[in-house]
Every structure is written in C-alpha cells, then in structure tokens.
Structure 1
Amino acid sequence: MLVRKLGTVSVLAHNLDDGLDPGRGDFLAQAEPYRRELLAHCYRMTGSLHDAEDLVQETFLRAWKSYDRFEGKSSVRTWLHRIATNTSLTALEGRQRRPLPTGLGAPSSNPTDDLVERAEVPWLEPLPDSLYDDPADPSVIVGSRESVRLAFVAALQHLSPRQRAVLVLRDVLQWRAAEVADAIDTSVAAVNSLLQRARAQLEAVGPSQDDELSPPESDEAREKLAHYISAFEDYDIDRLVKMFTAEAIWEMPPFDGWYQGGPVIGALIHQNCPAEKAGDMRLLPLTANGQPAAAMYMRLPETGGRHVPFQLHVLDMRADGVSHVVAFLDTSLFAKFGLPEVL
C-alpha cells in the first residue's frame, strides 16, 4: 500500500508495482490545486472542520479510484466538486444539523443563570483561514469569505442537505441548473424547486445582506481586535463592554445560552470567567471564517500557573464596534489552527 499525503488528506493506492498506476499517474498533480476549495465546500455542507477534512480525504480516494474512467467531459475541478458533494450528502444522511446556540430557538439568556452545557449537540465549528485561503490569489480570498462566514454557514444548517447542496452549487460555485441536476442525479425542475425553497429559508434565518463586516486585514479591524485583546488581558471588562454594539450577541458552545447587549455580556463574563486579575488571560490574534478572531489562553491554578487553551473567539467587527462573538470552548480546535498547547 502506498500512502500519498496531500496536506490533511491521504490518497491510498493499492497493489501498485511501480509507484502510481500509469492510468492515474497525474492524478495528484491534477487534483492538488483544488484541495483548499474542496475543504471549504465540504465545510459549508457540514459545518464541521473535522468532518470536512475526512470528507476531502474520502473525495480524493474516490476520485483516485475512478480517475482512469474520467473522460474529461467536465473540468477536473467540476468533477471533484461533484464527488465531494455526493460524498457529503451520503455522510449527512440521518445526521443532526450543527447549530450555534442562537439557532436553537430559545430566547436570550439571563447572565446570572447557571450555564447549561449540551455536550450531546454537534455544534458548528470554526474554519481557520489558512486552510482554505489561497494567499497567491487575493480574488479567491475575497470571493470565498462571504460563503464561509459563521453566520452564513450557521444559516445553511437550517436547510436540508439537498437544499444545502443545490444552494451552494448554484449561488456559491455558480453552476448552471443542468450541471447541478446532473451532479446530484435529479431533474432541472427539481433543482429549481430546491433552490427556491432554500433561498426562502435562508432569507428567513440568514444574516442581513446590509451587514458590512470589516475585513480582518483592514487597519480598522486590526485596531479593534488589538483593543479587544488588550481589554481581556488587562481584565478590564468595563472597557470591553464599551466595544460592543447595542444589540451585540455573545454565545459560547457547548453552552446553550446566548446573551445580548454589552452590559449583559459584561455581567456574564464577571459571573463566569475564571480569571481574577490582569495577566490571567492572554490572547493571540488570528483569523477564522474570513473574520477577525483570537485564541484565548487562561492561567489556572491546576495548570501550575501556565496559560493553557481556553476559548477561540470569532468576531463580527463593524464600524460601530463588535456586534457578535462566538467563543468556542472546544480546545481540540487549537491544534487545527496551528496554535501552541501552552503559552
């Protein structure tokens, strides 16, 4: 067995005498350029970085096995996305959607109430920009950001898997209806019907098109993120509260509550944050889902005073302040972002 590594994916070639089968010998060269966008595609479909990585691996394996039968009637890119779409649809059969706390349908929470952890819920996960951005092509970066932002991916979770697939293929990848119908083995009329229902559902639950987020590389976003980090590290919650917009939302899966308004968010942090003084928290700036983000490390007595992974914050930054923070408590994500185990 020969194992070929493609970043996070492995293509397994069985019973090969001299390296790759001549009929499939150029597969890796043909497929590798699309690995990043396939990961983003599978992430949109599933809302999970872990699942997306597995699905890209399965996509490459299926594509490699059938590469000798690839007739070139479509581009390699289209062919790979078709395989990735159907691999995702198969994987999603019988699975729960991946929400954020705001997507559970409950009203905003009281910051003085006990936190309720819902470990059984398969929560939405963030996506490191480094895994899907193509630094050599800025136009790809800008074009892909809108379709991986947390609010958009969370809204996609309200759609059925087939609605999700049709909407992503038509509105994100800009495929023609006939191409989508061929990809998922249905009729053009069915594709149009699925797309109409998906768009209506997305409009009901999705983010407003008028919302203007600051690009994470902009001077404005970097300055605001630096102030956000400084307020936490100084344990100056009052200063932090002033950074939030009037209707700002804070949520932190796997806890099922969500909180609205700067004063409420400040009260929540005062009530539940294990930090006690300046220096207990350290944050590293990064980007996720095309948004400013920060990795929070906490100094705890049980860790010998070391700063260890605690939360990953993904922020909506606007001209008037921070309007949304999702603070992910799944510390296994730190490795996916290439972050150290200890500061």
Structure 2
Amino acid sequence: MTTTTVGDVREALEDGFARQRGELVAHCYRMTGSVHDAEDLVQETYVRAWRAADGFEGRASLRTWLFRIATNVCLTFLEGRSRRPLPSALGQGAADPAREPVQDRAVDWMEPLPDAVLWSEPAPDPAESAATRDSVRLAFVAALQHLTARQRAVLLLREVLAWSAKETADALGLTVAGVNSTLQRARAAMDREAPAQDDPAPVDDPRTRDLLEAYVRAFEAYDVAAIVRLLAHDVLWEMPPYPEWYAGAPQVGRLISTWCPASGPGDMRLVPAGTANGVPAFGLYMRDADGVHRAFQLQQVWPTPDGDVSRVIAWFDVEALFDRFGLPAVWDDDAQATVGPAPVR
C-alpha cells in the first residue's frame, strides 16, 4: 500500500497549480469581475493549499480541491464588498453627449480580462477551454455581479465547472437542498438581467479584419463621420470610470466630436492589443501638446457578422491596463516599427 506524504501532495500541487492557474484566474475573475483581484486571490489559493497539504486525503482530484479552496477564498474576499458594475448597469439612462462626462473613482468598476492571461499555454482539455472562453464573456461576467457572492459560487460550480449538487454543498458548507434553492434563485436573477448577446464575429474572418482595419483608420484620421458609419445604429458605448454611457451611433459621434481631445489626423494612434473577454482590444494613444503619443484609453470592440461594431468599452485606467496588455506608456512610430504592435488574435 502506497502512503501519500505531505511532500508528495506539495510536489503534485506545484505541477497541478501551474497547469490549472489559467482556469483558476478565470474562476476568480468570474467571481469578482476584476483581473487584478483574481490574480491576488489565485496566489492566496496557492498559499492556503500549500499550508493545508497535510489535510489533502485524495478523495477528490487535486483540481477539485484547488477550486474548492479558490471559491472559499473568493467568498471571504467578497464579504462586505459591493459588486463591480459597468456604467450601463447602474440603472441610469443613456447620457446626453452634450454634457461633459465626469469620472467617478469611488466606484470599483469591472475590469477587462486579457485572453493571454488565460490561454498563453494550450489547454490540457479543449472541451474545458471552450467552456471557459464562453464563461468569461463580458456580458456573462457583468450579469454575475448582480448575484450575491454565494449565488455566484453556486452557479459557477454547478453550471460552469459542472459539479454535482453534493460536491457543491460539501465545498460551500451547505445542504443539497440549499444548493438547489440557491441555484434556482441565481438562475432567475440571471434571466432577469438578460445579458445582451455579445458573441463577436470571428477575428480571423476577412470581413472582421477589414472592419477593424477601417475602424483603426477612421480613428487615426479623426474622421468622426467614418467612425459613425462603422458603428451599429444601436451601438452601446461605455467609458469606465465615467458613469455615463451612450446609445446610438449619432450620439457616440457627437460625444467624440465634442469631448475627444484630438483635433485632427495623426493625433491618435490605435494599436492592436490582442483580445480581451473574447473580443479585439486596442490601445489608444493621444498626442499631447509636446507631440508625444501617450496612453489614453484601452478599447474593447465588438465586431458583428453584419460588418459593424455593436459595442465599445473604452477603459481609462491606463496605467494598470496598458502594462497588463503589454503596451508601452508612450507610442513612438519609429521606435515601435521594429517591434510592431501586438497581433489581433
């Protein structure tokens, strides 16, 4: 009979944690709506697992054990914290673009999740990878923020990780009946939120590439009319940490014309930054009075099969975001030409 020692568990933990890290980050991101918090919570998960190695009896897989720890780490973290919203989820109507937007830094806003954080390495199971990609779509994660922390945990364990009611109950200290009733309430809340379909057109589709190239050209030429033509008539435009959001291509055009600091062609550079939450991302650099293009916002762009853009989120927390997406703080056309921007994946 083979005896499993603490050393054996810790050796397996080192290997298993490395392989499961992307999935754990995705799980904690779904729970919190923040990639920064998710990365911290995954590290805390590892620390707790390391310390509790002598309590691992092998009754469940190491993967299940890690997710159980991660879920409870998230629940502890979320105690007393408010949800992370997007501007359109605050309950106020679309804003008037004639009024100057004002930042609200008191709100902990949702954050975009770079796909490279999760899939820099091939997934061990393609089926698991597909489910994870679907479950980090922004609309889904935003809808989760309307649930209580325990409802999020139950919904994710049961419907994303496909745990049984008994496994979920054991992980969360609930009864099976409690898990089932919590899941029912969570599903009802998600149905009420009815997240908008945000499945983008495939980025490797030639029509999508043409659309994104035209989008970049329109911004770099500061051609507002061209930008508006590329937007869906009912486009949604958001700009965290600004609580205002805008609906409709004409309104977005007026917003850009009125409040964008650019004054003409060449003032903006729009640099591909891979994908985030499954949609193309771009770093936007604005030319200052000294002629230097500096980080201004990071855009997530939803291309549709119809050949237009249905949604844009322009994130303004540039210091953290540009570093996370591997973008420089300053864009120099000559210096960057030798390296090139990140590809649209």
Fold in common (TM above 0.5) = yes
Unaligned runs of 5+ in 1: 1-19
Question: What SS does structure 1 have at the residue aligned with 2:243?
Answer: coil
Which of 309-318 and 39-48 deviates more? 309-318
CA distance in 1, matches of 2:268, 2:192: 38
Following the alignment from structure 1 to structure 2, what is the Cα–Cα distance between the partners of residues 172 and 215?
23
Alignment CA distance shift 1:177-1:22 (3 Å): closer
CA contact (8 A) 2:86 2:110 kept: yes
Q: Report the CA distance between 1:267 and its aligned residue.
A: 0.4
Q: Retained in 1: the 8 A contact 2:109–2:241?
A: yes
| Alignment-derived partner of residue 36 in structure 2 | 50
Tell which deviates more after alignment, 313-322 or 133-142.
Answer: 133-142
Amino acid at match of 1:82: R
Aligned to 1:314: 300
1:30-89 alpha-carbon deviations (Å, 9 max, x no partner):
221000010010000000111001100100000111123211111111111110000000
Is 1:114 matched up with 2:100? yes
Count of residue correspondences: 321
- Identity of paired residues, percent? 51
Q: Which amino acid letter does the alignment assign opposite residue 260 of structure 2? A: C
Residues 87 and 217 (structure 1 numbering): CA distance in 2 closer, same or farther, change over 3 Å? farther
Q: Determine the structure 2 residue equivalent to 1:75.
A: 61
In the alignment, structure 1 residue 282 sits paired with structure 2 residue 269: yes
Letter in 2 for 1:150: L
Secondary structure in 2 matching 1:309: strand
Q: Is 1:263 aligned to 2:246, yes or no?
A: no
The C-alpha deviation readout for 1:154-173, integer Å capped at 9, x for no partner, is 11111100011111111111
Unaligned segments of structure 2, at least 5 residues: 1-5, 332-345
Mapped pair 1:297 → 2:298: no
* C-alpha separation in 1, matches of 2:12 and 2:188: 43
User: Counterpart of 1:316 in 2: which secondary structure?
Assistant: strand
Distance 1:201 1:338 in 2: 36
Query: For residue 341 of structure 1, what is the amino acid of its counterpart?
Result: A
Query: Does structure 2 conserve the Cα–Cα contact (< 8 Å) formed by 1:151 and 1:206?
Result: no
The reply on whether 1:245 has 2:218 as its aligned counterpart is no
1:161 maps to what in 2?
149
1:222 shift after superposition: 2.6
The alpha-carbon distance between structure 1 residues 230 and 58, as it changes in their structure 2 partners (threshold 3 A), is same
| In 2: Cα distance, 1:21 partner to 1:334 partner | 40
Q: 1:36 aligned to 13, 22, 30, which one?
A: 22
Q: Which moved more, 1:22-31 or 1:178-187?
A: 22-31
CA RMSD between the two structures: 1.7
Indicate if the aligned counterparts of 1:109 and 1:257 stay in contact, CA closer than 8 A: yes
- In 2, Cα distance between the equivalents of 1:38 and 1:336? 18
